[in-house]
Chain A
Amino acid sequence: MLTLLSEAPKYGLQLRQEFEARTGEVWPLNVGQVYTTLQRLEREGHVESDDAGRDGAQKRYRLTADGERELHSWLRTPPRAGPPPRDELVMKVQVAIRLTQVDVTEILQAHRRRIVEEMQRYTHLKADAAPEDIGLGLVVDAELFRLEAVVRWLDAADARLRSHPTRPKPSTPAADTSPAADAQDARSTGRTGDRAAGARR
């Protein structure tokens, strides 16, 4: 918002359209988000509006000197650095290697295929777009590199499992009470069906 306003004073609806156009329309914004953000920026003194009497749709906003400083400081601020987010895929694979009735390689491949399909859609979007559409290119590249990293993690996991096949150790007390141990039990005694299916959940 601050970047767009640094070019010229703008109306709220115009800000929304320009934001979407410049980010390749990958992150759609609703009008509500635009006005809540503008109100907050106004409260903080980063923007000011003329026509104070009118409602949001007709107000034109402009950047203040304080907003200009905030913009330059924001551009240089690293994105949030916190603990790594909880990764659902890593968790699923962690769980899968505990389950004897699950082919982990096949699970890794199912995720690999799904991600490559998603990458194909992004790449084809980029391939068919005009080369001067820099905004789209930047957003698509960011997503492609992120997805590629996941595929590389899957490949590394695959190689790791090949060189060190991991299976639960039935002798440890923890494994004895785990669903995986139950399933192994069910298999070794010929019992299948409900219990094994339950363990898969």
Chain B
Amino acid sequence: MSVVLSLRQVSKVHGSGGAAVHALRAVDLDVVAGELVAVMGPSGSGKSTLLTIAGTLEEPTTGQVTVCGSDLSTLSADATARLRRRSLGFVFQDLNLLAGLSAVENVALPLELDGMSARPARAAALQVLDELGLTDRAGHYPDDLSGGERQRVAIARAVVGERQLLLADEPTGALDAANGEAVLRMLRAACKRGIAGVMVTHDAQLASWADRVIFIRDGRVVDQTAPSAGPEALLASDPTP
């Protein structure tokens, strides 16, 4: 399986001297195509920093970040921006849907910014909205959509085109349980179709949708879950002594 995101000994220090804050310390992480990885940790553990570094929005202080086969330290600013537009999708807590654009225009926007002409961009956007059950909402503006629908539009925008890496920060935000589950089903489905996904959260229910959960604490990866044993393990006897 191809490695889509690779962090090698990645550290991030904010500030310097006595005021230095070590947001990440020597983090190693590989995420392969088709895999959804959750990064779980308390506030201030460094999980959001990990996501912005993986998303090329921030540079590490030391260490190597490889996204879709490119070592970021060797890319020009333009090339990094192109990689970000083409290959990465973001689903953040504050959705950043543009209020002046309809759902389909919001989804088509990254494709158009990347040089695709309006018509095929719109067609591609409509197709993704259709897959997410939002066909009849395509012409609506964000203000006319429910919270759950807005979040699904944000996911559509994050997976449209040839994206290879999906980065999500608390992607269910303030959604209720049913809408949150719908959002997670979509993220999982996107990964099953071959995208690599990284989701940071402090919520165990959210994290449990992932194939693998990484635990981060004080900027260090301290633990991770074992590969999935499958549901039949639930019927096995209690493992506690």
Binding site for B on A (CB under 8 A): 26, 28, 88, 105, 109, 112-125, 127-128, 141, 144-145, 147-148, 151-152, 155, 158-159
User: What 8 pairs across the A-B complex have the smallest Cβ distances?
Assistant: A119-B208, A125-B231, A151-B204, A123-B208, A120-B208, A117-B225, A148-B204, A148-B205
B230 touches A121 (CB 8 A): yes
**CB-defined contacts of B205 to chain A, threshold 8 Å:** 119, 123, 144-145, 148
A88 touches B240 (CB 8 A): yes
B204 touches A122 (CB 8 A): no
- Residue with the highest number of chain B CB atoms closer than 10 Å, among A109, A120, A155, A158: A120
CB-contact partner of B228 in A112, A121, A145, A158, under 8 A: A121
A-B contact pairs, 19 of them (CB 8 A): A105-B217, A109-B215, A109-B217, A109-B223, A113-B215, A114-B239, A116-B40, A116-B204, A116-B207, A117-B229, A119-B207, A120-B213, A121-B228, A121-B230, A122-B234, A123-B205, A124-B231, A127-B188, A151-B204
Given known A120-B210, A158-B42, contact A113–B225 (CB-CB < 8 A): yes
**CB-defined contacts of A121 to chain B, threshold 8 Å:** 228-231, 233-234
Count of residues in B whose CB is under 8 Å from the partner chain: 30
**CB-defined contacts of A115 to chain B, threshold 8 Å:** 204
**CB-defined contacts of A144 to chain B, threshold 8 Å:** 205, 208
How many residue pairs bridge A and B at CB < 8 Å?
A: 74
* Interchain nearest-CB distance for B202 vs A (Å): 7
**CB-defined contacts of B215 to chain A, threshold 8 Å:** 109, 112-113
* Interchain nearest-CB distance for B170 vs A (Å): 15
**CB-defined contacts of B209 to chain A, threshold 8 Å:** 120, 123, 127
Closest B residue to A119 by CB, please name it.
B208
A124 touches B225 (CB 8 A): no
A112 to B210 alpha-carbon distance, docked (Å)? 15
A145 to B181 alpha-carbon distance, docked (Å)? 13
A116 touches B225 (CB 8 A): yes
B202 touches A155 (CB 8 A): yes
* Interchain nearest-CB distance for A123 vs B (Å): 4
